[in-house]
A = this chain, B = another copy of it.
Amino acid sequence: MKNKGDIFVISAPSGTGKTTLVRLLLSRFPTLSFSISYTTRLPRPGEVNGQHYFFVSEKEFKKSIAKGEMLEWAKVYGHYYGTPLTFVQEKIAAGKDIVLDIDIQGAQAVKKKMPEAILIFLIPPSWNELQRRIISRSSDSPEEIKKRLEAAKKEILAAREFDYIVINDVLEDALKELVSIIQATKARANKRWPEIKRLLQA
């Protein structure tokens, strides 16, 4: 009998470098499976169906929600985004670990349905640094930037309800910490106990 896989949910306010970090994590940890979200928005140049997202129609998406096939979903700027429940369930049943790169509300929704999920909050090293990152990558107006900063501040308050907080200052250090969290999770007594029981019976 295989041990069940773990679910790691990584969330962050925008401008924290989450996408880069998750990509690095997956390349260093090839045993991790990445959960590909469904979305109703159109593919951007370079985005591949089934790799970056599953691109579906609004009709299909709403049908999936109605059938309870979404572990979590949200409507953002008029488009739907969601995590397919079956994919996650199949992977962890097969003993595979899975990474979800979703927003903070999504993370909270996953925890409600699957309390065993490990929630990781990624955070910038300082308020100034977050400001700098949001401003530098944004082509938005000062008004829009101010809004984004206010939103980030609110989002950071949610970190308290997560299991772990990783500070993304030096990328390599943040990556190491993510890896530690994944490895320590494997060593949790409740995870390892079935294995030990078999050892005692042998």
Is A188 located at the chain interface by the 8 A CB criterion? yes
CB atoms of A196 and B156 under 8 A apart = yes
Is A121 located at the chain interface by the 8 A CB criterion? yes
Q: Which residues of B contact A193 (CB under 8 A)?
A: 159-160, 165
Q: Which residues of B contact A176 (CB under 8 A)?
A: 183
Count chain A residues whose beta carbon lies closer than 8 angstroms to a beta carbon of B: 37
Is A87 located at the chain interface by the 8 A CB criterion? no
Measured between alpha carbons, how far is A188 from B164 in the docked complex, in Å? 4
Q: Which residues of B contact A165 (CB under 8 A)?
A: 187-189, 192-193, 196
Contact with B along A128-155 (1 / 0, CB 8 A): 1000000000000000000000000100
CB atoms of A163 and B189 under 8 A apart = yes
Q: Which residues of B contact A180 (CB under 8 A)?
A: 179-181, 183-184, 187
A202 and chain B: residue at smallest CB distance: B127
Measured between alpha carbons, how far is A53 from B193 in the docked complex, in Å? 33
A residues within 8 Å of B by Cβ?
Answer: 121, 123, 125-128, 153, 156-157, 159-167, 176-177, 179-181, 183-189, 192-193, 195-196, 199-200, 202
